[in-house]
């Protein structure tokens, strides 16, 4: 049996990814199980889902505490949470990242493969929803489920044009995922922070929620206050009659970009 933990953010489709993996494995003749972990899963907030795949009926009902494979759908999550926590010795980490696996600063006796799933999703789906994009990388690095079965599961979940776009995404990630390599940093995983899911209340820094970052061109700004007025998170402060973004409060929703009447706020994908 293998156990899988999927880290994502609300809106990236971690729960759907877990279902698709389980469904495709079942089509391949295996037994499988998908477990969503429901918190108050706000769009952008970190969350996890689990999958089990086995050749015999899966009897376990608890969460997967020591996964064989961890999938990370968001490039910045690994900066916020110890995504490798509990990962078995020799286990595999599949990261959505622009970095080659050798440059990934996650330590342990683990293997790593990376794929720029955000880029693939933006190009094939036109939206940064990385859940299907990463499944091709999983199939290539782990050896199953077969791409045919993943395709069938996707067509069932997303009939029509959306399904075909997602299928294009899995094929690209199958091609573009790096080979699996041993983690360069070898010290065992020591961080023991809990796997947190989103909750209520006040947060310290939501920078990592952003896919795109608003950048104001003050030379063109007319001082109309729209961006300040409509930011739900008060991330835009009003200083000396000009807007100033406090980036630790910015979730990258894009409202300010949309509302600026002179279009002087750019929305850029920040390289990480």
Partner 1 sequence: MSERINRLQIPMEELTITPGSACQGCGAALAARLVFKAIGPNAIRHRIPCCPDSTTAHPSANSVFESGGAMLTGTWRGLKAIGRTDVQVVGFFGDGGTYDIGFQSLSAAAERNENIWVITKDNEAYMNTGNQRSGATPIFARTSTTPVGSVIKGKQMRKKKIAKIFAAHGIPYIATTSVGYPEDLIAKINYGKTVEGFKMLIIQSPCPVGWRYDGSKTIAMARLGVQTGIWPLFEIIDGEKFKLNYKPRELKPVTEYLKPQARFRHLTDENISLIQEDTAKEWETLLKSDELGRVLL
| The only residue of 182, 186, 222, 237 in contact with ligand SF4, by rule CB under 6 A | 222
Between CA 203 and CA 184 the distance in angstroms is: 32
Q: Minimum distance from CB of 41 to partner 1 (Å)?
A: 9
- Give the per-residue contact string, 40-69, with partner 1 (x = CB under 8 A; - = no): x-xxxx------------------------
Residue 269 binds which of ligand SF4, partner 1, none (CB < 5-8 A, kind-dependent): none
- The kind and range of the H/E element at 31 are strand 31-36
> What does each C-alpha distance from 89 to 95, 105, 109, 247 come to in angstroms?
17, 17, 5, 37
Residue 75 engages partner 1 in binding (rule: CB under 8 A): no
Q: Minimum distance from CB of 47 to ligand SF4 (Å)?
A: 13
- The kind and range of the H/E element at 53 are strand 46-54
Q: Minimum distance from CB of 242 to ligand SF4 (Å)?
A: 7
Residue 233 engages partner 1 in binding (rule: CB under 8 A): yes
- The kind and range of the H/E element at 75 are none
Residue 216 engages ligand SF4 in binding (rule: CB under 6 A): yes
Between CA 243 and CA 223 the distance in angstroms is: 7
Q: Which two tokens stand for residue 211?
A: 């896919």
Residue list 178-217, contact with partner 1 (CB under 8 A)? 198-203, 205-206, 209
Interface with ligand SF4 (CB under 6 A): 42-43, 214, 216, 221-227, 231, 233, 235-236, 243, 245, 250-256, 260, 262, 264-265
């Amino acid at each position: 049996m293998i156990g899988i933990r999927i880290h994502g953010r609300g809106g990236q489709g971690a729960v759907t990814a877990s279902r698709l993996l389980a469904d495709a494995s079942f089509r391949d003749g295996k037994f499988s199980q998908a477990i969503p972990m429901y918190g108050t899963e706000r769009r952008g907030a970190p969350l996890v889902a689990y999958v089990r795949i086995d050749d015999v009926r899966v009897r376990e009902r608890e969460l997967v505490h020591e996964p064989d494979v961890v999938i990370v759908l968001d490039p910045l999550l690994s900066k916020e949470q110890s995504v490798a926590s509990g990962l078995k010795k020799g286990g595999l980490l599949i990261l959505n990242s622009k970095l080659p696996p050798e440059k990934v600063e996650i330590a342990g006796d683990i293997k790593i493969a990376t794929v720029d799933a955000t880029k693939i999703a933006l190009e094939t789906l036109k939206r940064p929803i990385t859940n299907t994009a990463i499944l091709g990388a999983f199939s290539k690095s782990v050896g199953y489920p077969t791409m045919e079965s993943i395709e069938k599961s996707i067509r069932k979940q997303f009939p029509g044009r959306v399904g075909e776009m997602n299928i294009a995404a899995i094929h690209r990630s199958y091609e573009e995922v790096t080979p699996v390599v041993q983690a360069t940093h070898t010290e065992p995983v020591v961080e023991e922070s809990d796997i947190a899911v989103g909750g209520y209340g006040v947060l310290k820094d939501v920078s990592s929620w952003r896919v795109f970052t608003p950048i104001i061109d003050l030379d063109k700004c007319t001082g109309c206050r729209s961006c300040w007025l409509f930011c739900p998170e008060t991330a835009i402060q009003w200083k000396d009659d000009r807007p100033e973004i406090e980036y630790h409060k910015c979730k990258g929703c894009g409202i300010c970009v949309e509302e600026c009447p002179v279009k002087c706020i750019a929305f850029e994908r920040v390289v990480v």
